[in-house]
Structure 1
Amino acid sequence: MLKNATKVSLAMLSLGVALNAQAQDKKGDTKASAAAPAAVAAPKADAPKPGPKPYKEVITDKAKTSKGLFTVHKIEDKYYFEIPDSLMGREIMTVTRVSKSATVPGSVGLPAYGGEMLNRQVIRFEKGPDNKVFLRGVQYINVSADSTQPIYKAVRNSNVDPIAQAFEVKAFKKDSVSKSTNTVIDISDFFKSENQIISLPPMIKTAYKLTTLAPDRTYLTSIKTYPINTEIRAVRTYNGAPSMPGAPSAMPSVSLPSVATTGVMTMEVNTSMILLPKVPMKKRNFDPRVGFFANGYTVFDENSQRTEDQTFAVRWRLEPKNAEDAAKQKKGEIIEPKKPIIYYIDPATPAKWRKYLKAGIDDWQKAFEAAGWKNAIRGEILADNDTTISLEDARYSAVRYFASDIENAYGPNVHDPRSGEILESHIGWYHNVMKLLKKWYMTQAAAVDPRARKSKFDDELMGDLIRFVSSHEVGHTLGLRHNYGSSSTVPVEKLRDPKWIAEHGHTPSIMDYARFNYVAQPEDGVKDLYPRIGEYDIWAIKWGYQTLDGATPEDDQKTLSKEFIQEIAKNPRIWFGTETNPYDPRSQSECLGDNNMLASEYGIKNLKRIVPNLIDWTKEEAQDYDMLTESYNEIVTQYRRYIGHVVKNVGGIFETPKSADQTGVVYEPTPKATQKEAITWLNKYVFDTPTWLLDEKILSRIRPDQGLDAISRIQDAALSSIFSIDRLQRLVETQSKYPTAYGIDEMLTDVKSNVFAELKTKKATDSFRRNLQKNYVEKLIATANASGASMSGGFSFRGTVVPAAVDPRKTDIVSVSRGHLLALRDEVKASLPLIQDKMTKYHLQDVLFRIEKGLDPK
């Protein structure tokens, strides 16, 4: 998901200066000076002529030669590539990965562990002038649909690929078989240099505070060449700048222990050079209704009256072995592909977890069978002593195991930017993902599953959880994105039905961030609590991997669109909800069911069952309360997730991508009844003090405070989200079109009626509620006095900007907020004489002072 260009200027300057030295006598020695003969410059020896030498003078008998993509020669400490004419101009993918690294503190997003990718770039070698070979970085931004069209020249004139490196030709060799010429270049210095194509990206060096490459401690260790790829391994040493305590930084950085102690960092990297197919795989045009990763570029075509952004799905190439199998598949038979998708399990993986990682890969078999392929995907466990396969070899995909405290796993892929064809993948598996799984499962399932009620899970339970995450990450490497909307297609009450869950699972997609079934109650008898590959996943794999025989990708696109419209009419559970939509309450991370309020209510019921038992479930002999602290904090985090799920319904906008041949609208507001239900839920479960979190036995063991500020911060976050300008503007926008829709005035009235309920009852207001009321007033004042434009949008699913910014001073937002402040001021004034509780009176006097100052800031 990448793009960069480097401009390299090369200049050659030669300057010859002939100096004619003449002897000088001492001052006054005129006789000697007169008698001395004139000095004559000695003839210069001919300098060796630059340029190619005879092949045998360069590639001598000392050469150790291996043949593959490039013929590689090693002579002492020098490496030479012998490049045939057939490879000049061919596009090659370079992928640079960490092989071995120094100890790096865990940091998601920064490559640090053996097997993680540093960068990738498409290159090509080409012959240049003056016996040079150029290495160009190929950019796929703008392309021409047809190289025979005149517009092709215009596109090329505006999109010159940068020359990243120039090599002197050392020798030529005539190939007696192919009748072509092989060109020999010295590759050694290139792989020991700081060329960005095979080095650490600038952002990574900045984050690690690395400065310059240390050339005396940087060297090649091996180059191995295979039929379609060449693998280059090098040790690279960088000078570094130790972090200074408290020093400001423009971007997040990581302190490296080796830099702190020695001033340098040494790592081993492997660069794979993979020959891209001469004929790119047939594209499958992207469809926003199915969640595939995509690549694309702008296409210029003389037959079109505008430029076209061509976007296509990222997927593996699956093809029949022969014409006979292709005919069988066309008749509906399931066949084996010519080349199956295989993931090798890293031998560094603890033995007891390997079978679960493999099972997570093999679980995808049924999805590929629906697409017409059998035995299309599998996991293979590499033996500890297996030396036949190198996981740095770009021909192999793998699950790499990292000894890291990062609580994560990820599933990337390397693909051909011309077609979206996935070439290989290295799934990253951090050891500490098990800690994350344990926290999730205890928090979301311990009320129902007794196995989750302990500080250390049994291997079988942890293995099942690993299997689920393995399947999820493999899904990414097959091209699938997160489907945050999948779980919203399930009626909440079905999540409590054991029979229904056994048949369908609690979400139709393992690519959803649905985690575990936190809705099921102890009395329901639901045992199946974690996700599995579901109906959406099977549909999506069929969409991406079935064989289609359209003449063009556009023909296939029409066929697939008809299939989708027919299928979703029969089964709404194949709906895809993007992970990038900030407004659609149906597309959310870690939520369940078609009603966020009801699902979150059930979730809180289970949290209330867990909290009183946390001390017993987390205690370990002779240990402190770290586990209790961690588990309690996770409970709070889960509760805050529920709040976020509910808030997104307020001012929500449904987005349902459709093609022009589908009926119905793409955008529509969340129903008014749903939005009012969300505010009612917030009033009950957030603004009414959640005292169930204030378990005295727990708090007295893990923190010195009584939870007053912690509750206030939770309520403050909910109010901040409700009062966000973009949410308020969506309420204004919706009501401008639908006068009876849920608007900003009604929403603020509904919130205030609970937050300031004591104004009507005249009861004493406790410290929790006093904090809440102050928070509400401060938010209302800030909105009424908004000073300028505020971001009110973002990027929608298809990248369209929806509106970029709004100035609340020019909308009804400020007007309504000021009106509510005036009304609240009058209510407080009327109530004050009737209040008996001293602290409540002080509080309301303060609230009145704040409001009056807010209405007249001068």
Structure 2
Amino acid sequence: MPQSRPISPLTLLAAACVAFLCSCATPEAEIRPDIKVLAETPAEPASAAATPASGASAVAARASATRPAAAPSGPPLPPFATVTQGSRRVDGMLTLWQKDDKVWLELKPEDFNKPMFFSPKVSQGLGEGGLFGGSMLSAYGAWGAPRIVEFRKIHNLVQLVALNETFRARAGTPQAHAVDADYSTSLIGSTPVASQPDGASHGVLIEANNLFLVDTLGMAIHLQQMFRQGYGFDQRNSYFDSVRGSADEVMFDVTAHYFTQSIANSFPNAPAGAPQPTIPSFIPDARSLFLGLHYSLARLPEKPMATRPADPRVGFFTTTVADFTDDQVRSPRERFINHWRLEKKDPAAEMSEPVRPITYWLDRSIPLKYRDAITRGILEWNKAFEKIGFRNAIVVKVQPEDAAFDTLDVGATSVRWAVNAEPIYDAIGPTHVDPRSGEILDAGISIESVASRNLRADRVQVLERASASGLASLLQAPASELAPAAEASAAPKPFGLDAQACLAGDFESEQADYGLDVLEARGDIDPDSPQADAFVQAYLTNVTMHEVGHTLGLRHNFRASRMNTDKDLSDPGFTQTHPLSGSVMDYPPINLPRPGEPVVKPFDNTLGPYDYWAIEYAYKPMPAGTTPAQEKAELLKIAARNTEPGLDYGTDEDNYLGVDPAALQGDLGADPVAYAQKRFAIARDLFTRQESRTLRPDEDYAVLRRSVRYALRDAVRASGVLLRQLGGVATLRDFPGSGRDPMQPVPAAQQRAALDTLVDGVLAPDSFRISPALQRRLAPDFLERGDVSAGGDPVSTDYPVESVMLDFQRQLLFALMSDGLAQRLEDSAPKLDRPAQALAPSEVYARITRALWSDADNFGAGGKGDIPARRRELQRDHVNRLAVVLLRTPGGVRVDLRSTLRAEAASLLPRIQAAQRRPGLSEASRLHLADCAETLRAALNAPMERAGF
């Protein structure tokens, strides 16, 4: 490095002016007032090996290395030994020094501009709001995502910078310069250099407090959004619980305090649906709360793992990068699957143990009685790895009580036990991934104790009266296809979770509760028997298998549940020897027999054919010397097997973005109509059995209430399966040459069968009837109802069965008469070989009218009987829907829809008028019919408003 020339007074004056102007322009002091820049000294040169090859981080790194040092000012930095005097040394990937409440990081010259893996986790949560102890923060949390970071030394300031690994180009190409110029890195934190370089190591000290005893993850923002309160980070009352190190990692365990001076109350006269301030439910004083945060800085693999391309026919989580090296390709985006680095010890052997197995640690928090069931769920995946030549690819170890490590440490893939007061997932399996290659570096499964703690207990998360948005989810229909009340909640999402977060455990837990109720009511199982315990153990094994699949990289597969016929699923012998679904990555309901049929296996305890196939695609070793072209051909050959039975794949997007009738949650069996009819029969049978159920003296009536609630929810979910058949188009992921068309409409006969089952099973006057005697016994759990602080239900004393059923019927009616469904029917019809035979919207409307107004036909023919209150409500909704379409400005709906509904209204009006003349009607029914007739008459005679005139 050339010697510095003497600096002239004029140069110093110019530099001072520039520095003053820059300090006025920079927002750094406003953004991070805790950052202070001390006297600047020349930066230590970084090693050549640590210099980034390409990417957005390269420009900043080079600028850092070449920026000239400013003239020294202020007092000199203290010697290294002076700062560390009396401190405890912690050896690890980076050396740490701790003295009382201060922690310093020792950074040697080679530690600067060296990529590291930054992994944040929540070690202590709130029991609600998505902040649960033991949670791995993932890419779903905007601030808490794992990242590749590096330390940069800029004069006497050290920055911890998150690198931008999404955009890249091959080093040394002109495109790499363009990438560097176009994409920015992000600052995680910064701190001044705290010492002179050490004489032996040449390392300098930086204060870790300024990096990790600040609101690094933006939790204050999350708390503000979640509760609408003014929470802020309180540094004075935050502290390090521990700092630890290992050869490949340093760990900081922080207790972070968040505080607000005052608590906001709800706003009076706020618009419906507007977010309102709330307070955390499970802390002693809502103004103050602590969060435990676990930060890890870990060594990255020296050589990134070879990537494996994503294929849409096999479902894996993916890492996406934009590589601009080749501007001839259609898109710069490259997607490769996330998976573990698994290599054979003996590459030439047909069967070999891996160099490094995937090790799952059972956290010491897991109750002893459940560890075997969870272990079985983990090790079941070894069967898939054995098929591709790995012996003991997965191993299970138990964390000792006196272990010096935490299962939150990077590389300690774990299964933990949670006791959240407000569970929203029951089980979840996130991963942390190397963004350079898709290599899974860490994973953590969390199982909520409600999964087994008390499957007999009433789940307060199940609303007494399902909201419209909740019914939209159960009916598997967009909110736009339901009644106007079906609006998405304005509440923020729990931290670290989004629409695609895994909720399998939550669904399966409800299904396990329901299954126990059904089997107990039939006398097939005693809730206090060993059989009931085996039932819970089987459930835990099933949930574990699903979450382990996620930690191996697999996504959901919602088409897998269609693999078996209803006959096979009803056969005890078949279910004991075969998987119930094509994959454990589905959300199938509990397998229950029809009333009077023998008990069958309720949960899957073995992998399905899809699971074996997916593991083969992701983990099959390629022979030594395999060229990239040969590997690509082999992977395409594996993926092309997707047309084989049991290998169908459809995931979250197919469920909530498409009209696929098979990529659904909560269905089971190849025939959706038979499935729904079975679930309706099970629910009705349960109601009948509960009529005469004798409760033990130590029980209360809440057990009956829970059974009724679960049965009705199950019926709603089965109705959603049928609803998706109407106008449904299966979206197969085949490539050309498979012999199948990728877009396949549901046969017209199956659509009509689904419609008939919906109308006759749900919209009929006597559907899901619950006797007055049973309704009088549906009392709440009075202790839970009153104990709001413990998660009880503060509002529901009565369980209004008629209102619940009306909500169910109303939402289904609106879905059947929605513009969206009409469009689906008309869009799918041309795809049929015989479009004229397609189910048309007019047929749907006529079928609904016949079902809802059969009372009017009976009245016109001299029939007897009044119109029940619930029936009147549904008839009124039907008339209102007809009127709304007729009064809508032309252009708002398709032409055929408007004309069809006008004809429907014109034919219905005289039937209602005839029914009005029948003697013997109640006053309420007579007024109801008169009002319906007037609504239709006014709508039919209303002048048409034309847009543009």
Task: Give the TM-score range, shorter chain.
Answer: 0.7 to 0.9
Match of 1:722 among 816, 823, 830: 816
SS at the partner of 1:334?
coil
Which residue is 2:308 aligned to?
A: 284
Which residue is 1:562 aligned to?
A: 637
Match of 1:575 among 648, 655, 663: 648
Matches within 5 A, 1:593-742: 593-614=669-690, 619-702=695-778, 707-735=801-829, 739-740=835-836, 741-742=838-839
Which residue is 2:251 aligned to?
A: 231
Q: In the alignment, does 2:512 pair up with 1:441?
A: yes
Matches within 5 A, 1:372-771: 372-383=389-400, 385-407=401-423, 408-434=426-452, 435=455, 439-444=510-515, 447=518, 450=523, 452=525, 454=527, 458-519=532-593, 522-524=596-598, 526-527=600-601, 529-530=603-604, 532-548=606-622, 556-565=631-640, 567-569=641-643, 571-581=644-654, 582=656, 583-614=659-690, 619-702=695-778, 707-735=801-829, 739-740=835-836, 741-761=838-858, 762=861, 763=863, 764=865, 766-767=867-868, 768-771=870-873
CA distance in 2, matches of 1:617, 1:467: 31
Q: In the alignment, does 2:917 pair up with 1:820?
A: no
SS at the partner of 2:146?
strand
Deviations 1:743-785 (A, max 9, x none): 2122222222322234444334531433332222222333444
Question: Measured at CA, do residues 201 and 242 of structure 1 come closer, stay the same or move farther in structure 2, by a change above 3 Å?
Answer: closer
Instruction: Give the drift of 1:70.
Output: 0.7
Match of 1:320 among 344, 347, 350: 344
Deviates more, 1:523-532 or 1:634-643: 523-532
Which residue is 1:33 aligned to?
A: none
Q: In the alignment, does 2:323 pair up with 1:299?
A: yes
Question: Measured at CA, do residues 273 and 13 of structure 1 come closer, stay the same or move farther in structure 2, by a change above 3 Å?
Answer: closer
Q: In the alignment, does 2:166 pair up with 1:141?
A: yes
SS at the partner of 1:574?
coil
SS at the partner of 1:120?
coil
CA distance in 2, matches of 1:678, 1:138: 53
Deviations 1:477-512 (A, max 9, x none): 111222111111322222122333233222121111
Which residue is 2:487 aligned to?
A: none
Unaligned runs of 5+ in 1: 1-6, 16-45, 789-806
Which residue is 2:225 aligned to?
A: 206
Deviations 1:218-275 (A, max 9, x none): 1223221111211001221111353525676965876225776262112332111122
Question: Measured at CA, do residues 276 and 265 of structure 1 come closer, stay the same or move farther in structure 2, by a change above 3 Å?
Answer: same
Deviates more, 1:513-522 or 1:721-730: 513-522
CA distance in 2, matches of 1:857, 1:424: 66
Matches within 5 A, 1:241-260: 241-245=262-266, 255-256=279-280
Which residue is 1:87 aligned to?
A: 111
Which amino acid is the alignment partner of residue 64 of structure 1?
A: R
CA distance in 1, matches of 2:115, 2:276: 35
Deviates more, 1:571-580 or 1:150-159: 571-580
Instruction: Give the drift of 1:662.
Output: 3.5
Which amino acid is the alignment partner of residue 413 of structure 1?
A: T
Which residue is 2:482 aligned to?
A: none
Q: In the alignment, does 2:338 pair up with 1:341?
A: no
Question: Measured at CA, do residues 301 and 522 of structure 1 come closer, stay the same or move farther in structure 2, by a change above 3 Å?
Answer: farther
RMSD value over aligned CA atoms?
3.3
Question: Measured at CA, do residues 548 and 515 of structure 1 come closer, stay the same or move farther in structure 2, by a change above 3 Å?
Answer: farther
SS at the partner of 2:899?
helix
Task: Judge conservation of contact 2:94–2:250 (CA < 8 Å) in 1.
Answer: yes
Question: Measured at CA, do residues 258 and 677 of structure 1 come closer, stay the same or move farther in structure 2, by a change above 3 Å?
Answer: closer
CA distance in 2, matches of 1:319, 1:47: 53
Task: Judge conservation of contact 2:727–2:746 (CA < 8 Å) in 1.
Answer: yes
Which residue is 2:480 aligned to?
A: none
Instruction: Give the drift of 1:387.
Output: 2.0
Q: In the alignment, does 2:437 pair up with 1:366?
A: no
Instruction: Give the drift of 1:76.
Output: 4.6
Question: Measured at CA, do residues 154 and 166 of structure 1 come closer, stay the same or move farther in structure 2, by a change above 3 Å?
Answer: same
Task: Judge conservation of contact 1:52–1:172 (CA < 8 Å) in 2.
Answer: yes
Which residue is 2:463 aligned to?
A: none
Q: TM-score, normalised by structure 2?
A: 0.76
Which amino acid is the alignment partner of residue 751 of structure 1?
A: I
Task: Judge conservation of contact 1:8–1:164 (CA < 8 Å) in 2.
Answer: no
Which amino acid is the alignment partner of residue 205 of structure 2?
A: V
Deviations 1:834-854 (A, max 9, x none): 677456654433321121233
Instruction: Give the drift of 1:52.
Output: 5.1
Which amino acid is the alignment partner of residue 819 of structure 2?
A: I
Which amino acid is the alignment partner of residue 766 of structure 1?
A: I
Q: Which has the higher contact order (CA 8 A, sep 6+)?
A: 2
SS at the partner of 1:681?
helix
CA distance in 2, matches of 1:213, 1:393: 24
Task: Judge conservation of contact 1:835–1:841 (CA < 8 Å) in 2.
Answer: no
Matches within 5 A, 1:21-40: none
CA distance in 1, matches of 2:330, 2:75: 50
Task: Judge conservation of contact 2:731–2:742 (CA < 8 Å) in 1.
Answer: yes
Which amino acid is the alignment partner of residue 396 of structure 1?
A: A
Kindly name which structure, 1 or 2, has the bigger radius of gyration based on alpha carbons.
Answer: 1
Question: Measured at CA, do residues 242 and 379 of structure 1 come closer, stay the same or move farther in structure 2, by a change above 3 Å?
Answer: farther
Which residue is 1:72 aligned to?
A: 96
CA distance in 1, matches of 2:595, 2:118: 52
Instruction: Give the drift of 1:518.
Output: 2.5
Instruction: Give the drift of 1:638.
Output: 0.7
Instruction: Give the drift of 1:140.
Output: 3.4
Task: Judge conservation of contact 1:318–1:545 (CA < 8 Å) in 2.
Answer: yes
Question: Measured at CA, do residues 593 and 258 of structure 1 come closer, stay the same or move farther in structure 2, by a change above 3 Å?
Answer: closer
Which residue is 1:844 aligned to?
A: 929
Question: Measured at CA, do residues 242 and 453 of structure 1 come closer, stay the same or move farther in structure 2, by a change above 3 Å?
Answer: farther
Instruction: Give the drift of 1:141.
Output: 3.4
Deviates more, 1:811-820 or 1:575-584: 811-820
Task: Judge conservation of contact 1:825–1:852 (CA < 8 Å) in 2.
Answer: yes
CA distance in 1, matches of 2:122, 2:548: 21
CA distance in 2, matches of 1:14, 1:423: 35
Q: TM-score, normalised by structure 1?
A: 0.84
SS at the partner of 2:120?
strand
Task: Judge conservation of contact 1:68–1:229 (CA < 8 Å) in 2.
Answer: yes
SS at the partner of 2:28?
coil
Deviations 1:816-857 (A, max 9, x none): 223322232244446655677456654433321121233345
CA distance in 1, matches of 2:300, 2:519: 51
SS at the partner of 2:376?
helix
